[in-house]
Each structure stands twice: as C-alpha cells, then as structure tokens.
Structure 1
C-alpha cells in the first residue's frame, strides 16, 4: 500500500477494522451505520474529484495527462469527470442507445 495516498490507506484500514469486529451483531450494526451515510459521502467524493480535475485542466494539463494521473483512464473519461458525468449516467446512455429503434 506504499504507493497509495495516506487517505486511501486509512479508508482501507477502516474497512479492515469493520471486518475485525468479532461480534456479528456489533459488526452488522456498525457496517449498516456506515453504509447509511455512504451515498452522501460518495457524492462529496465525486464532486471533490470533479473540482480537482477541472483545476488541473485550468492549470494546463491535457486530458491525457489527467487520465493517466487518475489511474490510466481515457482522456474522454477524464473530460466526462470534469463535466460531472458519472459512470452510471454513461451506462444508462449506452443502454438507451441500444434499445432505440433504428430508422430504416
């Protein structure tokens, strides 16, 4: 985990701490409490990433450079992140394209 940011390491360690709870009931309750608030945290993380990607672009980085920094994603995906397009939105759009009737 040496190549991960400290914050990522701490998040993984927190998950391991849940796994280490021996009492099934206590573990299930603790995990449920964490999951209850997860959607809000996930939104905040996505918005934070979006702002930082926009900032990197404003500083002159190319979409290709940003994609590499974000773990080797495509330039197009980096651009979508900056625009606030989520993976779920992309999958939904792709599904809708598949089911639309073709002109002919």
Structure 2
C-alpha cells in the first residue's frame, strides 16, 4: 500500500500535512504496512499526470483520500473542512479516519 502526499513548492501546508499524515499512519496501525512518501509537483504537466486536487493532496494507491475535489493542473493550494473551519490540511483524526475507511474498502 502506498500513501503519497502531493504538494507544490512553497506550499505553507506541506510541513503540517506531512507531520499529520505520519502521525495518522502510526495511530491507524499502518506503520510497516504502508509506504509513505511525498511528491513535489513543479509544473502543470506534473499535476496533470497525477490525481492532484491542490496542495496538499493525499493519495492511497493513487486514489484521493478526500474525494469530491476536482482534479486540477493548477499549481494551487487546497483547503479542507475541519471542525475549526477551513484549513490548509486535514486534522490527524480526519486523516486517520480516511485511511481506515480506505483500507477497509480494499
């Protein structure tokens, strides 16, 4: 299983998103089961070659963990609804829930 964080250069949410993702993977018991990585998208062609819906985008085996956003080739930011309002990255709890739901469907 491959979990990938897609991001753009200069995205202020990349650091928090990666930290939260790694915490969610660990708390979901997926350490050692899932390969976690990041991918920098530098051009619209890079974005078009992946399922990219803005930075950061979280993929599990190529599928968006938070479906519903439109794909884009724009090197732009993405926002996520959280209990505290819109944010530049989902919470650890949201990521853990998305990971567990996606792995149950596999």
TM-score by length of 2: 0.23
Name which one, 1 or 2, has greater alpha-carbon Rg: 1
TM-score by length of 1: 0.24
Higher strand proportion (structure 1 or 2): 2
Higher helix proportion (structure 1 or 2): 1
